[in-house]
Structure 1
Amino acid sequence: MTRAFELETLKIRMNDADLQLLDLHQRIQRALRALILDGALDPGMKLPATRMLAKSLCVARDTVENAYVQLHRDGFIVRREGSGSYVSKTIGTELRGAARRRMKLQDQKQGANEPGSGLSRRGRMIFESGGVTDQQAIKAFATGLPETRSFPTDVWERLQRQALKDYRSHVLLHGDPQGAEPLRKAIATYLNLERGAKVSPNQILVLSSTRQALFLCAQLLVDAGKAILLENPGYFGAKKAFESAENKIVPIDVDSQGIRTDLLRADRSGANCVYVTPSHQYPTGATLSLERRLDLTNWAAENGGWIIEDDYDSEFHYDGLPTACVQGLDKYNRTIYLGTFSKTLYPGLRMGYMALPEELVSAFTYARSIMDGHTPQILQLTLTRFMDDGHYNSHVRAMRKLYAERREVILDAINKHLEGIVTAVRPKGGLQIPCLLATGWSEQETIRRAATAGVMLPGLSRLYAGEEKQQGWLLGYASLTAYEIEAAILRLSNSLRKK
């Protein structure tokens, strides 16, 4: 038996929040369409005459007529001259068939609506391993956040206006996947002068981030199922990138001199790539000794391998001069250098770069062009001027001094308020402090208690592979004022000592 037309149901559908911005005839048309698709209006059902429905809805007849016309064009209703308008029987048959197919599919695949269902094997692996979460607000003691509140935005905005004026509509077009040539020149000059590198602008590839660089390395240098050597402990972002490419992670332990090259040489996994943070090991803060740097380059040459050197925060070295990068020492050209502006400028810029051996440049550029095309040209050209005019080096020097002061503040606060709980490892540089928990303290329990006091404690153990994990924290301090550091450490102490 055919159901009667439900006027009140139509009125309810017309008042749905997602229809409120539409014209009135569109709201009527969308509401009727939804009722037909849901099966609330039976196939073959006669719809009210336009005059009658218009009167019931208190709208003009033309409004309803326009809605009916569109439904007829889309095939949801049929109109018969002298008889009226009816819900299409064809649509009804298709809907009933689709409903039966959906029910059959649900019977065959229980749990098909669960998160992660329908993904490929690689997709499921990525989903199950989780993503990488970035802190989107300044909070004690999130890692990887530089000082942003004192960034010279007025200078940046002025340079951006100049770039727009000089390049005009050119910056609105697609850019070179390898990066704007002026910026590549500025980066190459900086690396050669400040980091002891040996690169030309043609070897630079401008990217959105270090993670994108790692993803490219994982895709282009290591086959699925093959091994990749990573520092232990090490940067979890690198681990995620290589796992997503189905690479086998082989951890190589580090000590006070950085990655142990004796273990590197003893490895029998067949790996041809090693990921390292030689200038400031993440998270221990160790600096790779010169002897091991040279041994690392010899290992790569002897095995036809690649060194992926992540120089993520070497600009911020506080005790003496920073060590020259491995790339500049590598006479065999087996080193891929990764750099980022997220730490030296601000993370929202989303810009990093690679310095590649010449034989890899084309392949990496092609792969990058497939991923996201290019980095926004206006940002590249603004950054170029920022570097060429001396603002970049000036800003880095100012931040280096500021971070050195904040390092002393957090070390003093830890020694004063957290004695007997953790021991802070004094880093030579960087934006975070490794802290080792004393015996009897649980990392997870301290993290839980700190959260109740509004303090974030990034755990240290998650950065270790294998069963032997160091319990502790990695406290980011660069984005916090001296007052904020002292206050947060005091809140943390009170929350941990509370019985």
Structure 2
Amino acid sequence: MFRHSQLESVKASIAHPAHAALPLHARIQRAVRQLIVDGALGPGKPLPASRALASSLGVSRDTVEAAYARLHAEGFIERRVGSGSFVAPMPEFTPGRRLSRRDALLRSQAPKLSLRGEAMFRSGGVREMLLPRPFAHGVPDTRFFPLPLWDRLERQLRKEVGAQALLHGDPQGAEPLRRAIADYVNLERGARATAERVLVLTSSQQALSLCAQVLLDPGDRIVVEDPAYYGARKAFDAAGLECLPVRVDRQGLLVERIAAEPRKARAVFLTPSHQFPTGATLALDRRLALIEWAARQQAWIIEDDYDSEFHYAGKPTACVQGLDPHDRTIYIGTFTKSLFPGLRIGYAVLPPQLVEPMTVARTLMDGHTASMAQLTLARFMEGGHFGAHVRLMRGVYAERLDLLARLVGRHLAGLVEARIPGGGLQMPCVLAPGLSERAAIEAARGAGIALLGLSALHAAGDGEAGFLMGFAAYTPQEIEAAVRRLAAALRAAARS
């Protein structure tokens, strides 16, 4: 029989709210198993008869029998006809054995990771807010998204494709979506794409990781903009690459410094249409010079066109990939910013010689992107709804950027200088001399406001003190209220 304390332990475990969703026999099984694992019931110890335990717990005998049957199937107990149930011997594990000091120390230490695993863990990963607060950057406004239309298109597709959508999908991506993406980037971004060159992925971050692991070896050098998108640098660091930072000015990456760099790079990563975080656009002469450098060096250009849909003045410059006659450019795009983050669809337009290697490598990561989401997005794009939504949101975001710039000038004068971008979903702001970036971000956090610091985006962490203010996801009323709270918080921080 159980001792009183053991019986009470089983009762407490059964009644615990965390186990409420489990069937009663499974709760009893888990509770008894835990007593065995903890060493409270040693090998050979008899268990109470099922009738007796059922009576003590106030359950049916069948319930206890079901729990014992599962424990027996798992190898925790033995059942002997005419004798009862007993804890099974477990020679490779001695329940209740006290850990030696050495064993206890080893258990308390951090796990031994691979060099790549250690780099990934140290980076902190790329985390997004589940419920973004003003002024979280890079977040679109999902309240305008035509969900009823999307739902109707998805229902139509379910009727048409039926159970086919439940099977494995093409690892390169659904052909209708690849065709729609190619048509879109050719028309809107001046790309040179075909459906055969498009690889559908879950995100631009996955595309960066693929490029780092498939195209480059640990120790290889890659040129990275300075400042740069933090997710790219983390992906390259995790792959063991040596990042060579090259400064950015008002015309984008200083391409002439790449050619002058004595440490030859095998790739360059850049955001030429709307540089993150400065908002600069790479000048045409620099684009052409970069293409020629890559051709001479047989290097790769990794072009991240993360939010080019949202430009607010004039026509956007054609993408680098469309200007590259040598097929050395990988063009990366995403629907996270243009539609909604939960869609989890990005893509890469690849040089023909990379399509098969990158597709095969992708199968080792996650196999394929969900078929129904791909097919629905393809139908959404084919019907002209994607273009219409982007045009609508471009106007909405332009008004919000204009409002944010005016409010910052009115309420944060003397504290920050706004640098109004020509596109994108966030506005860089530089702090006045003498103000601490860390103090400003902490003060904003205390006021319920999320800011991304600028200095940490520089390779040496020595850039101008300031922050990014995302404006796309917030209504005019939310923007004004948040700017007022931020102004109060920053003025209080400046006085302290």
The bucket for the TM-score relative to the shorter chain is over 0.9
The residue matched to 2:312 in structure 1 has which SS?
A: coil
**Hey, what does 1:113 align to over in structure 2?**
108
Deviation at 1:67, TM superposition (A): 4.2
C-alpha distance in 2 between matches for 1:66 and 1:415: 71
Task: Describe the superposition over 1:430-454 as per-residue Cα deviations: whole angstroms up to 9, x where unpaired.
Answer: 1111111111111011111111211
Task: Describe the superposition over 1:259-282 as per-residue Cα deviations: whole angstroms up to 9, x where unpaired.
Answer: 001111111222110001111111
Quick check: 1:8 aligned with 2:3? no
Quick check: 1:56 aligned with 2:45? no
Quick check: 1:126 aligned with 2:110? no
Paired letter, 1:447:
I
The residue matched to 1:279 in structure 2 has which SS?
A: coil
**Hey, what does 1:31 align to over in structure 2?**
31
Quick check: 1:470 aligned with 2:479? no
Aligned in 2, Cα 1:50/1:323: closer, same or farther, shift over 3 Å?
closer
Paired letter, 1:396:
V
Deviation at 1:192, TM superposition (A): 1.2
The residue matched to 2:364 in structure 1 has which SS?
A: helix
Quick check: 1:153 aligned with 2:151? no
The residue matched to 2:302 in structure 1 has which SS?
A: strand
**Hey, what does 1:141 align to over in structure 2?**
135
Task: Describe the superposition over 1:225-279 as per-residue Cα deviations: whole angstroms up to 9, x where unpaired.
Answer: 1111100001101001111111111101111110001111111222110001111
**Hey, what does 2:387 align to over in structure 1?**
393
Quick check: 1:294 aligned with 2:288? yes
Task: Describe the superposition over 1:339-377 as per-residue Cα deviations: whole angstroms up to 9, x where unpaired.
Answer: 111111111111111111101110111111111111111
**Hey, what does 2:42 align to over in structure 1?**
42
Matched ranges for 1:267-278 at <5 A: 267-278=261-272
Aligned in 2, Cα 1:71/1:318: closer, same or farther, shift over 3 Å?
closer
Aligned in 2, Cα 1:34/1:359: closer, same or farther, shift over 3 Å?
same
Task: Describe the superposition over 1:266-300 as per-residue Cα deviations: whole angstroms up to 9, x where unpaired.
Answer: 11222110001111111111111111111010100
1:231 to 219, 225, 229: 225
8 Å CA contact retained: 1:279, 1:323 = yes
**Hey, what does 1:440 align to over in structure 2?**
434
C-alpha distance in 2 between matches for 1:79 and 1:111: 37
C-alpha distance in 2 between matches for 1:309 and 1:213: 11
C-alpha distance in 1 between matches for 2:111 and 2:352: 42
Rg larger for? 1
Aligned in 2, Cα 1:53/1:393: closer, same or farther, shift over 3 Å?
closer
8 Å CA contact retained: 1:112, 1:118 = no
C-alpha distance in 2 between matches for 1:79 and 1:167: 52
**Hey, what does 2:313 align to over in structure 1?**
319
Matched ranges for 1:326-345 at <5 A: 326-345=320-339
C-alpha distance in 1 between matches for 2:68 and 2:374: 52
Deviation at 1:184, TM superposition (A): 1.0
Deviation at 1:118, TM superposition (A): 2.7
Aligned in 2, Cα 1:439/1:76: closer, same or farther, shift over 3 Å?
closer
Matched ranges for 1:211-290 at <5 A: 211-290=205-284
**Hey, what does 1:192 align to over in structure 2?**
186
Paired letter, 2:45:
M
Aligned in 2, Cα 1:99/1:497: closer, same or farther, shift over 3 Å?
same
Aligned in 2, Cα 1:12/1:226: closer, same or farther, shift over 3 Å?
same
Aligned in 2, Cα 1:246/1:49: closer, same or farther, shift over 3 Å?
same
C-alpha distance in 1 between matches for 2:104 and 2:113: 14
Aligned in 2, Cα 1:418/1:50: closer, same or farther, shift over 3 Å?
closer
**Hey, what does 1:360 align to over in structure 2?**
354
C-alpha distance in 2 between matches for 1:392 and 1:228: 34
Quick check: 1:162 aligned with 2:156? yes
C-alpha distance in 2 between matches for 1:426 and 1:76: 67
8 Å CA contact retained: 2:78, 2:87 = yes
Paired letter, 2:423:
G
Deviation at 1:121, TM superposition (A): 2.1
C-alpha distance in 2 between matches for 1:66 and 1:406: 62
Q: How many residues align?
A: 492
8 Å CA contact retained: 2:2, 2:47 = no
C-alpha distance in 2 between matches for 1:117 and 1:43: 31
Aligned in 2, Cα 1:53/1:295: closer, same or farther, shift over 3 Å?
closer
The residue matched to 1:228 in structure 2 has which SS?
A: strand
The residue matched to 2:108 in structure 1 has which SS?
A: coil
Deviation at 1:305, TM superposition (A): 0.8
**Hey, what does 1:487 align to over in structure 2?**
481
8 Å CA contact retained: 1:138, 1:480 = no
8 Å CA contact retained: 2:456, 2:462 = no
8 Å CA contact retained: 1:276, 1:308 = yes
The residue matched to 1:110 in structure 2 has which SS?
A: helix
Aligned in 2, Cα 1:41/1:490: closer, same or farther, shift over 3 Å?
same
8 Å CA contact retained: 1:3, 1:42 = no
The residue matched to 1:386 in structure 2 has which SS?
A: helix
Deviation at 1:80, TM superposition (A): 4.9
The residue matched to 2:301 in structure 1 has which SS?
A: strand
Paired letter, 1:31:
A
C-alpha distance in 1 between matches for 2:11 and 2:426: 59
Paired letter, 2:247:
D
Task: Tell which deviates more after alignment, 477-486 or 73-82.
Answer: 73-82
The residue matched to 1:300 in structure 2 has which SS?
A: helix
Paired letter, 1:87:
V
Tell me, which stretches of 5 or more residues in structure 1 are unaligned?
Answer: none
Task: Describe the superposition over 1:114-164 as per-residue Cα deviations: whole angstroms up to 9, x where unpaired.
Answer: 4x4232222122112211111222421000011211111111111111111
C-alpha distance in 2 between matches for 1:68 and 1:326: 67
Task: Tell which deviates more after alignment, 163-172 or 355-364.
Answer: 163-172
**Hey, what does 1:178 align to over in structure 2?**
172
**Hey, what does 1:103 align to over in structure 2?**
99
C-alpha distance in 1 between matches for 2:303 and 2:252: 13
Aligned in 2, Cα 1:64/1:463: closer, same or farther, shift over 3 Å?
closer
With the length of structure 1 as denominator, give the TM-score of the two structures: 0.93
The residue matched to 2:240 in structure 1 has which SS?
A: coil
C-alpha distance in 1 between matches for 2:79 and 2:166: 49
8 Å CA contact retained: 2:40, 2:96 = no
Tell me, which stretches of 5 or more residues in structure 2 are unaligned?
Answer: none
Aligned in 2, Cα 1:22/1:258: closer, same or farther, shift over 3 Å?
closer
Paired letter, 1:12:
A
The residue matched to 1:366 in structure 2 has which SS?
A: helix
Deviation at 1:95, TM superposition (A): 3.5
C-alpha distance in 2 between matches for 1:455 and 1:47: 58
**Hey, what does 2:491 align to over in structure 1?**
497
Aligned in 2, Cα 1:78/1:193: closer, same or farther, shift over 3 Å?
closer
Task: Describe the superposition over 1:359-416 as per-residue Cα deviations: whole angstroms up to 9, x where unpaired.
Answer: 1110111111111111111111111111111111111111111111111101101111
Aligned in 2, Cα 1:30/1:200: closer, same or farther, shift over 3 Å?
closer
